[in-house]
Chain A
Amino acid sequence: AQSVTQPDIHITVSEGASLELRCNYSYGATPYLFWYVQSPGQGLQLLLKYFSGDTLVQGIKGFEAEFKRSQSSFNLRKPSVHWSDAAEYFCAVGRSGSARQLTFGSGTQLTVLP
């Protein structure tokens, strides 16, 4: 069965600082990987996705993520964080085949200090 681990429950960074959120997955085949963001009282918004090809993926709002098969990781990065980036971030893995559904990590809460 697939699983996703986000080891950091809560991360605090200063505005303008760089950010890296960690995500490790467990899946037997080539995974479909995603990062979503959830603001308070809101649903999930897709930041970026990886299906195949270039392992460095660009997303919306200046985010990027790098797929590293050898480390089973798909870490999310942003060079300079804005106060509006404060939210909860979820990494997810999709299973291919007939039962295509997303398995989510437990989330990382990001706080941005002024």
Chain B
Amino acid sequence: KAGVTQTPRYLIKTRGQQVTLSCSPISGHRSVSWYQQTPGQGLQFLFEYFSETQRNKGNFPGRFSGRQFSNSRSEMNVSTLELGDSALYLCASSSREGSYEQYFGPGTRLTVT
């Protein structure tokens, strides 16, 4: 079974731009969670989607948003990029809502210049 895939793997954007990251969960998995990983703040939960609905949200500004499609694929969007948004964005999928059996993708490395 294929794992969680994230595209693109690397991205460079300029401050003020917006960016969209994509995550395809493991086949059959309906829950997708997003995490931000930075050297200063570590791993922080962004949000969780299940059945196209946002179920949980971490403590991030409204510039961070996401959505999930009927095929469980998920996208996250960051608008008005700031230098501090430079991070590794990890997506994790699980078979059911709120499950801790999460399988992580390789991440998207976003650099904001």
- Are these two chains actual partners, yes or no? yes
Binding site for B on A (CB under 8 A): 32, 34, 36, 41-46, 49, 51, 90, 92, 94, 99-107
B contact residues vs A (CB 8 Å cutoff): 4, 33, 35, 42-45, 48, 56, 58, 90, 92, 98-107
**Is the pair A103, B45 in contact by a Cβ cutoff of 8 Å?**
yes
> Can you name 22 A-B residue pairings with CB atoms under 8 Å?
A32-B100, A34-B100, A41-B106, A42-B106, A42-B107, A43-B90, A43-B105, A44-B90, A46-B101, A49-B101, A100-B48, A100-B99, A101-B33, A101-B45, A101-B48, A102-B35, A102-B43, A102-B100, A103-B45, A105-B42, A106-B42, A107-B43
Contact residues in A for B100 (Cβ distance below 8 Å): 32, 34, 49, 51, 94, 100, 102
Give Cα A99–Cα B47 distance, bound, in whole angstroms: 10
For the complex formed, measure the closest distance between the CB of B66 and the CB atoms of chain A, giving whole angstroms. Answer: 14
CB neighbours of A104 from chain B (8 A):
42-44
Cα distance A104–B42 in the bound complex, in angstroms:
8
**Interchain nearest-CB distance for A94 vs B (Å):** 5
